[in-house]
Chain A
């Protein structure tokens, strides 16, 4: 019997590799995955590659260079389905902090020969460059959600990935609300679920790793943060982490940025 397994390619753009590592870290699901799909291109795992086109491409990382802006078009052209994975690919990642500063100044300070560096002024999500079939959020992505997305692809169904707040996950697992019971500022009410409410379950406020939830009422949450003693500077910092360039978070941090 000839193999009719779909082919998988995993691509890296500007990123820390943590989301690709999540694929390798699937443990019990890795062998069943390899049983259902041919891993054709995955440099983090093996140098051996099979040329495209590919049935499914998972794309990690953001676009930060002219070369990558070109390369993502080639990846798109070689992929039947393209799914972006992680905060870098879905919003620009932590490196999108450059979007709030002058990259030319960074180049002058960091590099001995800045003229060798070819980089873009902004770090942007893959979807700003090519059409994306599904965006899987998280910094890093959640293992269970990754398996769900790949499984849904194989079964030709919609993935069970919800866009509601982290609060739903806290309540389902019975975690006591850290804001109400401890006075700890938490981004949970405006952050998309997916992590299983990891930080609140260790009595920490949510850091917003999964980016903005489907509904974000920033004026209301930020005025609550101020009542809890969060300074304007900390407010800006709390929304400028892994998803700083996600539109809803960017709006909040820009609204509270000191005017100069």
Chain B
């Protein structure tokens, strides 16, 4: 099992900025043409949306999470990033829920096809967690492989990533188990750690790219001291020790491949609603469907790609027949893909330990618990303890 607190080597942060510096950072991004996206409070949750400045951030708010439960609550300080992760992930910007692929127009017996130009962006993501950065890297393998996806490639290559190291993991978090956090990295342009000590409210800044360096140099900032470094390290260490859950990933591929007929799949099928929530909140799930539409005249057609899920019936319909009609089969497919066959397919686990599938499952199915249950009672347990 991975027990590192993230992949980045410890070194002195490049700088320290205060709240004014943070606002200057957001202003600089706006001036450079970025749409700045970050955490903000809406409808009783911390969601990702366009933000105009520091005032839009969830100051003094945190999230309490458990299986099937999310509650926004007040902190006793004014932390801007004092929460774990919410219902949204950055996936919605890099792999949008609906994408127009092309349009066609019929005129005098022929068709003209118009490719849809990539739209939106460039985006700056503020507040990317370690688990979320890892999720973006996983989706990179999916969308930027042999057949790059133009929408994803365009949005991804232009995205400016400002990570904020997690200080407040939730009850459903297990990034330490998956080796993705709480320290974010690598792959960010800038990485911040929020420091709240008495009246002091500051952020240490790590630089991860040339454009990050260039942006930082334009901001009011101070060099970081060893004291700042100690404070930042303490934040990350505290977070690493505050995981609400854990998952034993040792030999997990073999475990799941070897337990296709485990009775636990019947057990989880009794609870699973097949509602798709786990897959749609997952920051790495990438399944989609393609739909062709026509207008009433039949002269205009469009091809759209939209989010789909291995929990819908249509998704597993092939050639007029459904290959996965049971909830047991669908849940087994999702979890085995996420944690096992993903490794064969993309050379990485599909799970980053963000806990969203646990929190946002309406009936609280817990992927860590399902793995543990199969491990405890597997046929011919490798640990010899069954």
Contact = CB atoms under 8 A, between A and B. Distances in A.
Interface of A: 29, 32-33, 35-36, 147-148, 150-152, 154-155, 157, 160, 162-165, 167-168, 171-177, 179-183, 186, 188-190, 203, 213-215, 217, 219-221, 223-224
12 contacts: A154-B296, A155-B298, A162-B312, A164-B313, A171-B277, A172-B280, A179-B68, A180-B70, A181-B71, A190-B275, A203-B44, A215-B313
B68 A167 contact: no
Contacts of B297: 32, 35-36
Given A163-B314, A168-B309, A181-B45, A148 B293 contact: yes
Nearest to B49: A174
Nearest to B68: A180
Contacts of A157: 292, 294
Given A163-B313, A189-B362, A220-B272, A177 B277 contact: yes
B378 to A, nearest CB: 25
Given A151-B294, A217-B274, 11 more contacts: A154-B298, A157-B294, A164-B311, A167-B362, A172-B97, A172-B98, A172-B280, A174-B92, A180-B359, A189-B275, A217-B272
B275 A224 contact: no
A172 B44 contact: no
B312 A203 contact: no
B273 interface: yes
Nearest to B96: A172
A168 B307 contact: yes
B274 A176 contact: no
Q: Which of B272, B296, B297, B327 has the most CB of A within 10 A?
A: B296
B281 interface: yes
B274 A215 contact: yes
Contacts of B273: 165, 189-190, 215, 217, 220-221
B47 A174 contact: yes
A249 to B, nearest CB: 15
Nearest to A185: B362
Contact of B277 (A150, A160, A167, A221): A167
Contacts of B298: 36, 154-155
Interface string B33-45: 0000000001111
Interface in B172-204: none
B310 to A, nearest CB: 11
A182 B327 contact: no
Contact of B270 (A155, A175, A220): A220
B362 A215 contact: no
Contact of B312 (A29, A214, A219): A214
B69 A180 contact: yes
B87 interface: yes
Contact of B296 (A29, A162, A189): A29
Query: Main secondary structure on chain A at its contact with chain B?
Result: helix
Contacts of A168: 276, 280, 307, 309, 312
A221 B295 contact: no
Contacts of B271: 217, 220
A161 to B, nearest CB: 10
Contact of A221 (B43, B360, B362): B362
A215 B327 contact: yes
Contact of B43 (A155, A163, A176, A183): A176
Nearest to B313: A214
Nearest to A171: B280
Contacts of A186: 362
B45 A172 contact: no
B169 to A, nearest CB: 18
Contacts of B314: 162-164
A150 B293 CA distance: 12
B19 interface: no
Nearest to A202: B43
B115 to A, nearest CB: 21
B306 interface: yes
Contacts of A167: 275-277, 280, 362
Contacts of B45: 176, 181
Given A163-B314, A181-B70, A221-B363, A171 B276 contact: yes
Given A168-B309, A220-B271, A177 B296 contact: no
Contacts of A152: 294
A171 B307 contact: yes
Contacts of B68: 179-180, 224
Contacts of A181: 43-45, 70-72, 87
